[in-house]
Amino acid sequence: MNEAEFIAALRALPLHLGARGLLDDAAVLPFGDECLILTHDMIAEDVHFRGGDDRADVAWKLVAVNLSDLAAKGAEPVGVLIGASLARSAKAFVTGLHVALSHFDTPLLGGDTIAPLDGAGEVFSCTALGRATHVPVPSRSGAEPGDALWVTGTIGDAGAGLAIARGAEGPAILLERYLRPTPRLAEGRALAPHVHAMMDVSDGLLIDASRMAQASGLAVEIDLALVPLSPHLSDPLAAATAGDDYELLFAAPADFEPPVPATRIGGFMPGSGLSLTDKGLPVPLPARLGYLHAR
């Protein structure tokens, strides 16, 4: 059972309305006059980070990927709960956690620790809580026919950074993008009142755009020539199928002018599925759209 099949099976369970049918990366719970946003992510050794990675970087990434889900809801962080299987380098992990929480002005609320079995890789988890700064809270399922598809920042830097971590040549800034991603919290708060749908790019631009389209009951088209790349990259298809970017992907009316730096890369229309073009010419879909957890 792969990730998509597992989530589909979970939809048969009793779900809170705030779970949004498990079509989103966060739950949205009305709480008095506000909305509480809850999200939970795990990162595992040899899946999301390498065994030799500095555990201070691992701690930063753990916090950042969870705050990125809050950013996609236009939420302000309230605090985090941390789970850790501490086999080694616990001190470095705590140091990195302190740096990350201080940087993002997000307090620790608590959590749990375990000692993993001998030989097992380390696994860390985080539950992040936030308060919505705008209601209705953006979902990934709200795109409308005729909407434009936009993305913040540049795409593919973290994928290139992973290659550098594995021994490839490349600038340190790309390695930093892989080791210490930056959740777009301020951008998310600025966009939340205006967008029809929003999510973060975690598993790859193409697979995440297709998820937004599927959740919205629409088709989406992306022009690879428009995908924003840093000066260090030149292959938009490779960049668009890499993961760990943690930029914001959002749908908004065609005449929308974003209040933050962003690039229009495509649009939504009636139908289903993802299609690609390059300067308007059709491009075949790659066999792999992005990262998908599977056994």
pLDDT tens for 4-32 read 788 889 888 988 888 888 888 899 999 88
Strand order in the sheet with 197-200: 197-200, 248-252, 148-152, 262-269, 219-223, 273-278, 281-283
Residue 21 per-residue DSSP state:
G
What pairs with residue 125 in β-bridges? Answer: 42, 83
pLDDT digits (tens, 9 = 90+) for 124-177: 999 999 999 999 999 999 999 999 999 999 999 999 999 999 999 999 999 999
Strands 219-223 and 273-278: parallel
SS3 274: strand
pLDDT mean values, one per 10 residues, the chain (295 residues): 82 87 88 92 82 88 97 97 83 94 97 78 92 95 97 97 93 95 98 98 96 97 98 96 96 97 98 96 93 61
CATH number for the domain running over 148-283: 3.90.650.10
- Report domain extents, the chain: 3-132, 148-283
What does residue 181 show for φ and ψ, rounded to 5 degrees?
Answer: -65, 160
pTM for the complete prediction? 0.93
Asked whether 285 and 274 are in contact (CB, 8 A), the reply is yes
CA distance 205 to 187: 18
Residues, the chain, total? 295
CATH number for the domain running over 3-132: 3.30.1330.10
- CA geometry: angle at 208 spanning 48 and 181, to 5°? 40
